[in-house]
Amino acid sequence: MTLSVMEAGIAQPLNVSVVLSEEGGVYQEFADALPRSLVKHNVAISIVNAGQPFFPEPDLIIAVGTKAATAVMTTSTQPVLTVLLSKETYEKLQRDPLKKAAAASAIFLDQPIERQVSLINAALPNARHIGLLYSHASPDLRTLRARATEYGLVVHEQEVTASNPLPTALQETLKTSEVILALPDLEVYNASTIRNILLAAYRSRVPIVGFSASFVRAGAICAVYTTPAQLATQAASAVKQFAENRSLPAAQFAREFEVQINAQVAQSLGLSIPSSAEIKSKVRGDR
């Protein structure tokens, strides 16, 4: 009923403000993709940078990135959909005593750990010994520890600390692991450390499962990740739902994802891994 009225162009459009943490980059990519999924809907989208005032008062704010999400959730009372931030960050924002947003939801940037385990099973079915390096125990790590047996995996973890620096922790992990699963952790995986990590793992002939297309290009064997466009499609369906009943879906992981493989690295390691399309359909089937 509401929908048909909107389509007729009689009703006021739904005002959606997209707040970007930064101009350009993936934030902009998201903002550019969002309207494409909402063309036939009576939605007016305005794009502002974090810190700019809203005009007119939006019905729904989409905060893109942590900076925008933090700014919006602590200053604005309108419903907020946050995107391009991790589950961990979102949950911390939710617990923030300064939170003002009445209703908030999220589409997470990170991948559910089950999906990453499916990826390993699909791409490297013989790998059982999984190496993990971390500087802090993330929820994903705790899940993995708790469910390792259920997943049929043996976890070999090393915490990177002052007394167990990255090179040592890495060497220890490489001794026992058949694959390293990289969980996002800036202290372990960043532009300065990635060189030695990838080279050492390659020397030990241990593949690394990364978490982004860029990581795969750098030398990881494969990764599962969600593109800003895929997040925008999912955000658009949340917007549609909001237009219908003024409620946001529960915070959720990205439904759509891509699988990227580095065929050159796989070949060089003598591993025959399925194509990214095959892996993707297996991972999807596992869901």
Partner 1 sequence: MTYVIQLRILAYSYLAMQQQFTGGVISLKMSKKIPGLQCVRQSKSPVHRQRYVLKPAQTPIMPSTSALSPSSVSLAATILLIQSLRAYAADTAPEQEILQDFPVVLSASRLAQPISEAPNAMTVIDRDMIKSSGFRTISDLFRLVPGMYVGTQDGHSPIVSYHGATDQYSRRMQVLVDGRSVYLPPFSSVDWEDIPLQIDDIERIEVVRGPAAASHGANSLQGVINIITRDAGSLNGMSISANSGERGINDVEAHMGKAGETLDYRLTMAYKSDDGYGTSVLNDHSTTRMLNLRTNYHPNGADSIDLQLGYSGGVRGLGIQGRPDTDPYRDTFTTNAFQQVKWQHVLDSGDDVSVQYYHIYRDSSDSAPPGNTLAERHEAELQHTLQIGDKNRLVWGGGARYDKTDSPMNVLIPYSQYQTHFFVHDEWRATGSTVLNAGAMYEEDGMGHHNTSPRLALNYHLTPQHTLRASSSVAYRSPAIMEENANSSLLGTPPAWYSLGGLRPEKVLSREVGYLGEFVPMNLSVDARLYSDQISDIIYVDPISWRNFPPLFLPYSQFGFANLMDANLRGFETTVKYRWAERNSLILNYSRQMMSCAVTGTLTLQPLTPMLQDIADSCTASVPWNSGSVLLTQQVLDNYLFSAGFYYQSEMQIIQTMAPESRMQRLDLRLARTFGDSPKPGSGEIAFVVQNVLQDNYTIYSAVPQTTNITFNRRAYIFASLNF
Name the strand (E) or helix (H) holding 268: helix 263-268
Name the strand (E) or helix (H) holding 17: strand 14-20
Binding flag, residue 125, partner 1 (CB under 8 A)? no
43 or 110, CB closer to partner 1? 110
Of these, 59, 110, 157, 178, which contacts partner 1 (CB under 8 A)? 110
Distance (Å, rounded) from C-alpha 173 to C-alpha 162? 17
Distances (CA, A) of 37 to 86, 191, 274: 23, 34, 32
CB of 146 to partner 1, least distance (A): 22
Nearest to 117 by CA among 107, 109, 108, 127: 127
Nearest to 190 by CA among 169, 162, 210: 210
Binding flag, residue 211, partner 1 (CB under 8 A)? yes
**Span from 9-17, 55-63, 82-90, 112-120 in contact with partner 1 (CB under 8 A):** 82-90
Cβ neighbours of 175 (radius 10 Å): 11
**Span from 3-11, 112-120, 148-156, 209-217 in contact with partner 1 (CB under 8 A):** 209-217
92 or 246, CB closer to partner 1? 92
Q: What is the DSSP letter of 178?
A: S
**Span from 6-14, 39-47, 85-93, 112-120 in contact with partner 1 (CB under 8 A):** 85-93
Residue 246 in contact with residue 262, Cβ under 8 Å?
A: no
Q: Give the residues lining the site for partner 1 (CB under 8 A).
A: 21-22, 25-26, 50-51, 53, 65-67, 70-71, 74-75, 84-86, 88-89, 92, 96-98, 109-110, 135-136, 165, 167-168, 171-172, 184-187, 189-196, 198-200, 202-203, 211-212, 214-215, 217-219, 225, 262-265, 267-270, 272
